[in-house]
Amino acid sequence: MVPDQKGLEAQSAEEQENLAGEAWPDGNVCSCEEHGDEKGSCHDDGGREDSCPCRDHDDSEKDHCHCHDEADDDEDHCHYHSEGHAGHFHGHHHLHGASCGCHDEELSEEEEKRARWEIVIGAVLFLGAVAVKLIRGDSYTWPYIVVLALAYLILGWRVLKEAFENLMHGEWMDENFLMSLATLAAFAIQEFPEAVGVMLFFRIGEAFEDLASERSRRRIMEAVDLRPETVTVEKSGGSETVPAGSVRPGTVFLVRPGDRVPLDGTVLEGESYLDTSAVTGEPVPVRVEPGTAVLSGGVNTSGLLRVRADKPLSESMVSRILRSVENAQESKPQIDRFITRFARIYTPCVVGLALLTAFVMPLLRGEAFLPWIYTAISFLVMSCPCALVLSVPLAFFCGIGAASSRGILFKGGASMEQLAGVTAAVMDKTGTITRGTFEVRKVLPAPGIGEEELLRLAAACEEASTHPIAQSIRRAAQEAALDVPAPEAAQEIPGKGIRARVDGREIACGNRALLALGGAGEVPEDTEPGAEVFLAEGRRYLGRLVISDEVKEGAGEAIRRLHDLGIKTVMLTGDGASGAQSVAEEVGIEDWRAHLLPDQKVDELQKIRSAGEKVLFVGDGINDAPVLAGADVGAAMGSGADAAIEAADLVCMNSDPASVPEAVVLSRRVRRTAWQNVIFALAFKAVVMILGVTGIYSNMWLAVFADTGVAVLCILNSVRLLLGTKKNA
């Protein structure tokens, strides 16, 4: 049957899938020299390409994984000159799995313990030598120098080794080289305590940064890694526990009370409530029964369930969530790229300033070289842009983790940064603002026929139809406990509706055009919002049913919050004008366009963009995939079609419209945090450098804080994003 509204001529599923596939390319190209002809083959477990994490190199190869620094600054590479890592010189493990370029070898647990003991032993020797010297009042004699030199070697051998190895690869402008040069120069001018102290606090700060970064990363990954290790599957005569990755679609598995659903599937037997808060962020348990589709990651709270696996582990929701977070840094935000380029200029400039300070300033002012060399050494220490290049990506990573815990999955930092700047939110209607489930709202019979009789005849005509509107009519008749007869004959009229013989009566059930074919008169004009199904017997008009979708709870509040954030709202729909207007007025949407085919939605979106708006599109259907791909930012509802989810930049797992303004608020908070880090780090370094170059105050301990201390503060500022989401931007 066909409701009385202009139909949607959707593009074919194959065309939509192709468009969706083009919209979301799989990752970046690995340009490692070590891969030879296999460039581009660095895949994670999910099949996506990383920006060369070099996970597959053995230990001997890791030190030599240095990729070409191409002219294209947007291309991802491995070493610190690459996009997103420039200037990141500490031994931190990258948030997305790669190492940073200075400490390329991942430290084992035993090596980490050894590194901690090095710091402890070096600190004891350093503090002991300084304390004895202060107590005895001696000058720095050879015994003191030997002890301090030993402490320096224990603390700094890793830094010196990395500096030498990087120098051999032409990477001299890294923190290891700068720190080595500064401390060795301090030894040369007999500033022994400063040399050892700088190396000590550098190692302490580095260890603290690693700890803060790794703990924040571990917290995020533990929160989203819901993948099971094993699954209990049915076998003849009982059950068997098997690895989760070995289960194929169609396999029946058991989910006992308290167990987490391991794979996406469909309930075959049993009833229960699932706690899906870890997946969708929805705190209310969801009832499931035979025929209910379930997502992996939810916890079974009561009865035993028999579930048929619909997807393998690699395609189930728990794996998709984990991949989304793991790959979050593949798409780098513009601020990260800006800091990368800035770091390439900043560090050499500060090194040049240090040389001028050491050799030109004393000549210009006619002063001794030694104090100015000391100031230059301080410049070398503070020239490392660690706080910038570490805290900015960490801010976005923490933001993505915070969003994941609320059922909002971002596909990268760039998506989050783009969302923070949107000025218009364009939304689909069905499945996004409304539930996508039709209900009979009104039964309007003509004079001489009752409501129940009209509904009974309509349900009989729609007996064999699978259309959602036909299902809603049959459901309404069932709820009214009507005795619906089977039609004696039925004929579908394409694009118009159904003609059927019911109780010997020739009934037409469909749109206005169908009734016009039969010559039915006195058909009223459209006055009700929603789809209208008309009925006639021969030339006699019998009445109509008004069927409409239900607006999602909280949709109006979500639209109001978007307006409060300064974002204008537009609704694009293929439904009729009356239904579109009714929904728009109910939820408070400012502008709406109806009767749109998928390609017309794209055209309307481009018109909005050409007016200077930065557009977020929110949709859920396969016909929304082209629009999602064409928007500045695309958001898909988690209950939507796979093509829409693949084409989107972020996914609202709970399909709640309230997730949209929440994602905007969080994105703006992340962007603000990143800029706070940048401004604070640059301002502090600038003040310390001005104090030093003007001769007002030059102190190497202050320089250490300007480097390591500021980096730690910026990291802690970024980690705050994990503590909660503010309600306003």
CA distance 73 to 338: 10
Mean pLDDT along residues 422-440: 86
Tokens of 212: 């803060």
CB count, 10 Å around CB of 254?
18
Query: Lowest-confidence range among 68-82, 148-162, 227-241, 351-365?
Result: 68-82
pLDDT digits (tens, 9 = 90+) for 375-402: 888 777 766 666 676 778 878 888 888 8
Residue 695 confidence (pLDDT) above 90: no
Known catalytic residue: 503?
no
Mean pLDDT along residues 300-319: 86
pLDDT at 14: 37
Residue 628 confidence (pLDDT) above 70: yes
pTM recorded for the entire structure: 0.60
Residue 541 confidence (pLDDT) above 80: yes
CB count, 10 Å around CB of 11?
18
Mean pLDDT along residues 355-359: 85
Three-state SS for 134?
helix
CA distance 276 to 284: 8
Mean pLDDT along residues 26-47: 36
pLDDT at 103: 38
Mean pLDDT along residues 191-212: 76
pLDDT at 95: 35
Contact 20, 643 (CB under 8 A): yes
More confident residue, 182 or 305: 305
Name residues whose C-beta falls within 8 Å of residue 321's C-beta, 6 or more positions apart in sequence.
Answer: 224, 226, 279, 297, 404, 409, 653
50 falls in which pLDDT band (50, 70, 90)? very low
Highest mean pLDDT among 369-373, 660-664, 715-719: 660-664
pLDDT digits (tens, 9 = 90+) for 665-688: 999 999 999 999 889 988 888 888
Please identify which of the residues 4, 76, 174, 428 carries the catalytic annotation: 428
Query: Lowest-confidence range among 444-453, 651-660, 696-705?
Result: 696-705
Residue 717 confidence (pLDDT) above 80: yes
Tokens of 353: 């300033």
Torsion of CA 432, 438, 440, 441, to 10 degrees: 0
Burial pattern 313-344, b for ≥16 Cβ within 10 A else e, equals bebbbbbbbbbbbbbbbbbbbebbbebbebbb
Mean pLDDT along residues 410-431: 88
pLDDT at 5: 41
Mean pLDDT along residues 626-650: 77
Q: Which among 353, 359, 384 is positioned nearest to 371, based on CA atoms?
A: 359
Rounded (5°) CA angle 34-39-43: 100
Three-state SS for 118?
helix
Mean pLDDT along residues 704-725: 78
Contact 76, 82 (CB under 8 A): yes
Mean pLDDT along residues 449-476: 88
Q: 72-79 long-range contacts, Cβ below 8 Å, gap at least 24? A: 73/337, 73/340, 73/341, 74/337, 75/28, 75/29, 75/31, 76/28, 76/29, 76/51, 76/52, 76/330, 76/332, 77/31, 77/51, 77/52, 78/31, 78/32, 78/51, 78/52, 78/54, 79/169, 79/171
pLDDT at 218: 62
Mean pLDDT along residues 345-353: 78
Mean pLDDT along residues 622-628: 72
Percent of residues, the chain, with pLDDT higher than 70: 73
Mean pLDDT along residues 643-670: 86
Mean pLDDT along residues 361-388: 79
Could you say which DSSP state residue 707 is in? I
If you write DSSP's letter for every residue of 679-694 in order, what string do you get?
Answer: HHHHHHHHHHHHHHHT
pLDDT digits (tens, 9 = 90+) for 67-100: 333 333 333 333 333 333 333 333 333 333 333 3
Mean pLDDT along residues 647-661: 86
Contact 42, 54 (CB under 8 A): yes
Percent of residues, the chain, with pLDDT higher than 90: 21
**Residue 89 one-letter amino acid:** F
Query: At how many degrees (to 10) do helices 369-382 and 659-693 cross?
Result: 170
CA distance 150 to 143: 11
